[in-house]
Amino acid sequence: MGVEEFVVQIFNGLVIGSTYVLLALGVTLIYGLLNIINFAHGEIFMLGAYFAFVCVTTWGLSYWLSAILVMIICAAMYVVLDFVAFKKVRGFELGPLITSIGVSIFLQNLALIVFGGDPRQLATPYLDEIISYGMLSFSLQRFLIIPAAIITIIGLYVLIEKTTIGRAIRAVSQDRHVASLMGINPTLVIFFTFAIAGVLVAIPSVLVSPLFYIFPLMGVTLTLKAYIIVVMGGFGNILGTIIAGMILGLTESMVAGFGASRWIDAISFLVLVAFLLVKPYGIISERREENV
């Protein structure tokens, strides 16, 4: 691999890593607050992509207006998901995991019935707008993923660390009972957290789906990749998720650069196993109450 190819793969790795970080942040936030493993996360991503497709193609709305609507819809779906699948089983260790798998299968089949099995593609004004800089040549749609990830990470940090709702989220994640004694409404905090997770998954749904085909099972692999990142980073740790996402993205890009694209998924799981052997508690392992 020459220098030029190496630079290209670094850029591709940053795009892939940014995608994974955006996808995994919602998973990390929910686990950090409620210790819930949500395997329906990828299906919310998938439905968001389909809704964006309907907004742009069927309703003729602009891409950015569609993006705002997708954020609202995904936030609402995540809140409904909590009410339907998680609220009654939060006290059971495996309850949320089992119900989320059931919801995942239901949403896949719902998408298959409503949209059919034929792949769709979301057209945007930025897919055909090519940027060339030195040896790099890429569509503006791909480039948008990197600044979107940076803005989202900064926005999430400010929300969690500098706002009243962020302090409430951290308080509830540490001790829900004590937080309620301090005048915090845990139910309301959980509601807002699920809504935030929905917005977080909507961002990559709108930005990434135009680069691939949209189909009912597209969320399965993405969910697995999100949990690889969450485990590598340290369950519930946002900074660890960011570092792990970038490591996995750069690794996959380099594997593709060496002509082993068919082995990307296998390599991803090998990276996970290697991290579990070296850092079984994740890149940033903290006590449970300090994870958010």
What is the token pair recorded at 188? Answer: 């309301």
Model confidence pLDDT, tens digit, residues 71-117:
999 999 999 998 888 888 877 777 888 898 999 999 999 999 999 88
- The Cα 256–Cα 245 span in angstroms is 17
Question: In this predicted structure, what is the pLDDT of residue 255?
Answer: 87
Question: In this predicted structure, what is the pLDDT of residue 197?
Answer: 92
Asked if 188 and 200 touch (Cβ cutoff 8 Å), the reply is no
CATH number of 3-290: 1.10.3470
Model confidence pLDDT, tens digit, residues 30-84:
887 778 888 899 999 999 999 999 999 999 999 999 999 999 999 999 999 988 8
Asked if 253 and 13 touch (Cβ cutoff 8 Å), the reply is yes
Question: In this predicted structure, what is the pLDDT of residue 119?
Answer: 92
- The Cα 237–Cα 25 span in angstroms is 9
As separate numbers, helices (DSSP H) first and strands (DSSP E) second, the chain gives: 11, 2
Burial 34-54 (b: 16+ CB within 10 A, else e): bebbbbbbbbbbbbbbbbbbb
- Cα Dmax for the chain: 61
Residue spans of the domains in the chain: they are 3-290
Pairing label, strands 136-139, 130-133: antiparallel
pTM: 0.89
